[in-house]
Structure 1
Amino acid sequence: MENKSNADKFFLGQPRGLSTLFFTEMWERFSYYGMRAILLFYMYYAVSKGGLGFDQGTAASIMSIYGSLVYMSGVVGGWLSDRVWGSRRTVFIGGILIMFGHIALSLPFGSSALFASIALIVVGTGLLKPNVSEMVGGLYSETDHRRDAGFSMFVFGINLGAAVSPWAVPFAANGFGFHAFGNEMNFHAGFSLAAIGMFLGLLQYYFDGKKYLSKESLYPQDPIEKENLRPIITWSVIGVIALAVVIALMGVTGNLDINNIIWIITIVVIALPIIYFVMMLSSKKVNKVERSRVWAYVPLFIAAAIFWAIEESGSVVLALFAADRTVLHIGGWHFAAANFQTLNPLFIMILTPFFVWLWSSWKKQPSSPGKFSVGLVFAGASYLFMALPGIINGTTSGRVSPWWLVGSWFIVEIAEMLISPIGLSVTTKLAPKAFQSQMMSMWFLADAAGQAVNAQIVKLYSANTEVAYFLIVGLVSVAFGILLLFFVKPIHRLMDGVD
């Protein structure tokens, strides 16, 4: 195929279609991470300061389960792409829903607009994210050595948008000023800017995609037969009715509150990947080699879930640490707690060129499981580092230097460079042919599972538990990373020819 040829090196030595997907994801991540940079504060700030007045612990739990739902919905997006719409159309529909989600949040209609926005963005991102990533994999043949470098560049585009938005969106919400959040915020202006970002992404994707994306992306990989569609619709309706019954029973018994709903979602998110693995391993459409590769993916999935639980805490636990425990100025330069969200993508952009060069030139580099194990150790170390301010000072009251957060983010982004682009790449390589987009959904389910766990444990974070919280979570990650190191060779054998 022409778009998979090594001769196609228009975009910095990569296929031209990578440019289209690079900028599409850049704008989508601008909108998403710009919104997330201020959403936690919008939920728990008092109504008099422009917020919703939620309890801080509840707001943090909602943030985590929101992120979990966003990535869990990729299962539906992957299935619709593989079986019904094809990846290109699925991505476009998702982008439209995301844009309307940000528009809803930009309207001053309180918590009802918040939950409507969550629903739209959850569904929209589920349609968009796994299929954009799957299309990146489709630009390369299985033997194209540029694949890992291409995914690293793709992740760089994601983080370019994510780096700018934590400054641009809070800037708009803060009355167009670069300083600590004031007494009254115009959060809706910030959310409006996020909507504009998604609109720009849609324009770029629609017009550029016609020229440079493969025609194969217009069609489903495994079109569903009409006779198989009816039972799927039936079971979907049964699922919706069952959920409605559960919610009704919770209401009748007086247990219908946000915390119990979050618990239900947590259970579903953790159960879903288990069901998915069973389905793929037992499918008649999966041959022996593909089944072995799926088994190899199981420990990588668990490792990824632990990593994402730490990495995604940046917009929750570390955001609270930034707001409550961090000096919000360096010399005469004052900034908002939300601005720290730029550290994640900023360090990735700094580190990406090095890792692109490393994976492109290192002939005897570690296998994917080896990279995962080292990445988990770094992820855990970032949390152990955050325990030091409380340990050194002997107290978790008062404010500490912002360099603690800078250092922690730098460490965890080394972990991300070892896990995120490698995970995206290995997922596309290990995916059974009949489950290509759905296998990519599994990668995002790892993120969902990690954030679902966060939704429960984040409630345990406070000034009194700060040191213990960072130590325990950090040590769990380090321990699993060391354990994974001992199983690198068996996992690699199961990968059956995939590096």
Structure 2
Amino acid sequence: MSTIDHDKIVKSVPQKGFFGHPKGLYTLFFTEFWERFSYYGMRALLIYYMYTEVTKGGLGFDQTTANSIMSVYGALVYMSGIIGGWLADRVFGSSSTVFYGGVFIMLGHVILALPSGATALFISMGLIIIGTGLLKPNVSNIVGDLYSKTDPRRDSGFSIFYMGINMGGFIAPLIVGTLGQKVNFHLGFSLAAVGMLVGLITFVITKKPNLGLAGTYVTNPLSATERKNFKIFGTLITIVLAVFAVIGIQTGALTINLFTWFVSALGVLIPIVYFIVMYFSKKTSPVEQSRVLAYIPLFLAAVMFWAIQEQGSNILATYADQRTNLNFLGMTLASSWFQSLNPIFIVLLSPVFAWLWIRLGKKQPSTPIKFSLGLLFAGLSFIIMIIPAYMSGPNTLVSPLWLVLSFFLVVIGELCLSPVGLSATTKLAPAAFSAQTMSLWFLSNAMAQAINAQVVKLFDKVPETVYFGIIGLLAIVLCGVMLLLTPVIKKAMKGIH
């Protein structure tokens, strides 16, 4: 399809069949459910696997290095969405790109399941980074294809889709985490691979009857010359990067610390370049340029939010393991179980928020206001972690309820910001950069984690009260800035609410 007829795409999708939403939402819901099961199951174990002693089945990294690697890994996972968005827009279309991504992810988990030490870890990370970049932005982009631009079910649909993501994320730490911590790390990782296989099977079997034309088109296809150049330069770049990596590792020049700084710089620079290219492209109309400008403060607010939320998998995970009393109400908790708090709260609260947005209809808060609320609750989730340090001191095990409350607050913020951000991205995206703009949304997370790769190094160097207090206060201040800018942002959105 060289000219995209969005109405034709919407008409090709059965518009009823999944809780009053298009039938294709079922396919995407369960595809992402199993992909997130595999990813969050692996992630629930990864920090502990890295810093657990070798004699106990881990890799024996120091904790500061493990925390930085977790942030760099997360940054690269979301940064790779650029590749996935570009390939979908220019070469394969979203649907095919999703499938290829699932295959890479599954292979990555299979390799991580092998007891081959740090080498297997980094190879696995590379495959999962590529696979997630191919799959994640494009699944969300296909969700946008299921609805017309003015369909009032749109935000609600994204909230339901978001619930599917988090149902997988809730179950995974309880099953994969328990198996990995109580029995064997690699056995837990193997279960993550099985989860991705189930997701792939679900997508392949149900996509044709449920998705219609959604995700099948290429919005800005390469010409024959561009396709030839893409193959040549893509191959050369891959070879050069591989050679530099091998030489750097063999000579010791490529250290983890150097690589961390490189990814941090990349995570900040890439979004800036992306905004510049999109704004000045000849394929971006004046109205679309205005919407791109409106998107920038939303993007920066998302970066601040994710900088807090993503520390749940490293800083708060370490806090759960070492600063929390895991004997609670006669039970012995596993530290990996705390990774289920974020998704279970989202599963429980997503229907409430989906209902609330439909109930309010046109009276619901504007997108900038929702983002401001997201920042407020994110900030409070860190501010609240100051209290146990003051009450119990820095060396006493604290009640697990403090972590429960922190995760609860950040989830309220997430439901105000994240599904709304997905929806706003599909509405504000320039037509020629449809899938790539969704990749840009995920770059907000990449940028946050790239910054976190340096920030988390401070956790062991400053008091907890200072660490949590400064970051939490910064989010609340940015919330106030967003509220002040709301009228300007709404005007620049050109009719998009």
TM-score (norm 1): 0.94
Q: 1:4 to 1:421 in 2, by over 3 A?
A: same
Query: What percentage of residue pairs aligned between the two structures are identical?
Result: 51
Offset of 1:353 from its aligned partner? 1.2
Match of 1:445, as an amino acid? Answer: L
Q: Do residues 11 (structure 1) and 18 (structure 2) align?
A: yes
Match of 1:66, as an amino acid? Answer: Y
1:260 counterpart residue number: 258
Offset of 1:238 from its aligned partner? 6.9
RMSD, matched Cα:
1.9
Q: Residues 328-365 of structure 1: CA distance to partner in whole angstroms, max 9, x if unpaired?
A: 12221111100000000011111111101110011311
Contact 1:95 1:198 in 2 (8 A): yes
Secondary structure in 2 matching 1:398: coil
Match among 214, 217, 220 for residue 218 of structure 2:
220
1:53 counterpart residue number: 60
Distance in structure 1 (CA, Å) of the matches to 2:64 and 2:473: 24
Q: 1:488 to 1:174 in 2, by over 3 A?
A: same
Match among 69, 91, 101 for residue 94 of structure 1:
101
Distance in structure 2 (CA, Å) of the matches to 1:9 and 1:2: 16
Contact 2:144 2:423 in 1 (8 A): yes
Secondary structure in 2 matching 1:309: helix
Offset of 1:253 from its aligned partner? 8.6
1:458 counterpart residue number: 456
Q: Superposition pairs for residues 95-244 of structure 1, below 5 Å?
A: 95-175=102-182, 185-232=183-230, 236=234
Contact 1:396 1:463 in 2 (8 A): no
2:91 counterpart residue number: 84
Q: Superposition pairs for residues 332-371 of structure 1, below 5 Å?
A: 332-362=330-360, 363-371=362-370
Offset of 1:232 from its aligned partner? 4.5
Match of 2:330, as an amino acid? Answer: G
Distance in structure 2 (CA, Å) of the matches to 1:80 and 1:29: 22
Secondary structure in 1 matching 2:21: coil
Contact 2:248 2:254 in 1 (8 A): yes
Offset of 1:51 from its aligned partner? 0.3
1:38 counterpart residue number: 45
Distance in structure 2 (CA, Å) of the matches to 1:307 and 1:226: 42
2:285 counterpart residue number: 287
1:179 counterpart residue number: none
Q: Which runs of 5+ in 1 are unaligned?
A: 176-184
Offset of 1:116 from its aligned partner? 0.6
Match among 61, 72, 92 for residue 65 of structure 1:
72
Q: Residues 291-331 of structure 1: CA distance to partner in whole angstroms, max 9, x if unpaired?
A: 11011001111110110111111110000110010011222
Contact 1:31 1:193 in 2 (8 A): yes
Contact 1:374 1:418 in 2 (8 A): yes
Q: Residues 25-73 of structure 1: CA distance to partner in whole angstroms, max 9, x if unpaired?
A: 0000000000000010000000111001111110111011101100000
Distance in structure 2 (CA, Å) of the matches to 1:396 and 1:260: 31
Secondary structure in 1 matching 2:221: coil
Match of 1:447, as an amino acid? Answer: N
Distance in structure 2 (CA, Å) of the matches to 1:340 and 1:155: 19
Contact 1:46 1:53 in 2 (8 A): yes
Which range moves more in the overlay, 211-220 or 259-268?
Answer: 211-220
Q: 1:7 to 1:246 in 2, by over 3 A?
A: closer
Contact 1:42 1:187 in 2 (8 A): yes
TM-score (norm 2): 0.95
Secondary structure in 2 matching 1:215: coil
Distance in structure 2 (CA, Å) of the matches to 1:158 and 1:7: 22
Match of 2:42, as an amino acid? Answer: M
Distance in structure 1 (CA, Å) of the matches to 2:245 and 2:207: 42
Match among 22, 25, 28 for residue 32 of structure 2:
25
Match of 1:371, as an amino acid? Answer: K
Contact 1:3 1:15 in 2 (8 A): no
Q: Residues 118-161 of structure 1: CA distance to partner in whole angstroms, max 9, x if unpaired?
A: 00000000000000000000000011000000000000000000
Q: 1:485 to 1:330 in 2, by over 3 A?
A: same
Distance in structure 1 (CA, Å) of the matches to 2:265 and 2:229: 25
Secondary structure in 1 matching 2:384: helix
Offset of 1:210 from its aligned partner? 1.7
Contact 1:380 1:476 in 2 (8 A): yes
Contact 2:14 2:24 in 1 (8 A): no
1:181 counterpart residue number: none
Q: 1:93 to 1:248 in 2, by over 3 A?
A: closer
Q: Superposition pairs for residues 256-405 of structure 1, below 5 Å?
A: 256-362=254-360, 363-393=362-392, 395-405=393-403
Offset of 1:466 from its aligned partner? 1.3
Contact 1:40 1:316 in 2 (8 A): yes
Contact 1:322 1:340 in 2 (8 A): yes
Distance in structure 2 (CA, Å) of the matches to 1:333 and 1:321: 19
Q: Superposition pairs for residues 417-432 of structure 1, below 5 Å?
A: 417-432=415-430
Offset of 1:381 from its aligned partner? 0.7
Q: Do residues 494 (structure 1) and 492 (structure 2) align?
A: yes
Secondary structure in 1 matching 2:467: helix
Distance in structure 2 (CA, Å) of the matches to 1:494 and 1:93: 37
1:478 counterpart residue number: 476
Secondary structure in 2 matching 1:206: helix
Offset of 1:256 from its aligned partner? 2.4
Distance in structure 2 (CA, Å) of the matches to 1:239 and 1:79: 16
Offset of 1:419 from its aligned partner? 0.4
Secondary structure in 2 matching 1:268: helix
Q: Residues 452-474 of structure 1: CA distance to partner in whole angstroms, max 9, x if unpaired?
A: 11111111112852111100111
- Matched residues, number: 489
Offset of 1:440 from its aligned partner? 0.1
Distance in structure 1 (CA, Å) of the matches to 2:256 and 2:108: 20
